[in-house]
Amino acid sequence: MSQVNAIGLNSAKSEDIVKSLNTLLSCYQIQYMNARGFHWNIKGRNFFELHLKFEEIYNLLLEKVDEIAERILTLGGAPVHAFSEYLEASKINEAKNITEGTAAVENLLAGYSTLIQMQREILTEAGDADDEGTASLMSDYIKEQEKLVWMLKAYLG
């Protein structure tokens, strides 16, 4: 008989999901800081619209950071919380010294592509573990971010 955690899921499978979620959390933290930096440092003709859009984006990212950390705790894990761990684990690179709108939007698009791919993998992993909570979270994120990717790509023309 397999061991189950406090919410009735297979403990070993949940530990694997926690590892995946911690990597995702790291990526979200870097994507968040990138968006925050773009908000602070954007210049040029599209300053006003991009400044507001980047604020909207980083607020959405920050909300997900909290939700992912809480899901990790719900599964019985511990969310990573040191920025050095985020930098080490993230599949998204830090963006430095980007002040031009097109470059900032392209960077965010690349980050969202990475997030969506990871979330699809976690969705499959959660499905295999009968972890409806994590699967639902990933599904919601994918849907929202696919639309955001479409809008950012439309902005670029």
**DSSP secondary structure string for all residues of 54-103:** HHHHHHHHHHHHHHHHHHHHHTT------HHHHHHH-SSPPP-S--BHHH
- Taking the whole predicted model, whether its pTM rises above 0.85 is answered as yes
Q: What is the largest CA-CA distance in the chain?
A: 63
Residue 1 belongs to a domain:
no
Say what the alpha-carbon torsion angle 77, 82, 83, 88 is, to the nearest 10 degrees. Answer: -60
Residue 6 belongs to a domain:
no
Q: Could you read off the pLDDT of 110-157 as tens digits, one per residue?
A: 999 999 999 999 999 999 999 999 999 999 999 999 999 999 999 999
Residue 75 belongs to a domain:
yes
Averaged pLDDT of the chain = 97
Q: Exposed/middle/buried for 44, CB within 10 Å: 0-12, 13-18, 19+?
A: exposed
SS3 call for 157:
coil
Residue 2 banded pLDDT, cuts 50, 70, 90: low
Question: For residue 1, what pLDDT is reported?
Answer: 47
Question: For residue 144, what pLDDT is reported?
Answer: 97
Residue 14 banded pLDDT, cuts 50, 70, 90: very high
CATH of the domain at 149: 1.20.1260.10
Percent of residues, the chain, with pLDDT higher than 90: 99
Residue 89 belongs to a domain:
yes
Residue 125 belongs to a domain:
yes
Domain that holds residue 73: 11-156
**43 DSSP assignment:** B
Number of domains in the chain: 1
Q: Could you read off the pLDDT of 72-95 as tens digits, one per residue?
A: 999 999 999 999 999 999 999 999
- Structure token digits, residue 90: 């993230």
Q: Could you read off the pLDDT of 89-111 as tens digits, one per residue?
A: 999 999 999 999 999 999 999 99
Residue 138 belongs to a domain:
yes
Residue 2 belongs to a domain:
no
Residue 5 belongs to a domain:
no
Q: Exposed/middle/buried for 147, CB within 10 Å: 0-12, 13-18, 19+?
A: exposed
Closest C-alpha among 117, 88, 93, 120 to residue 107: 93
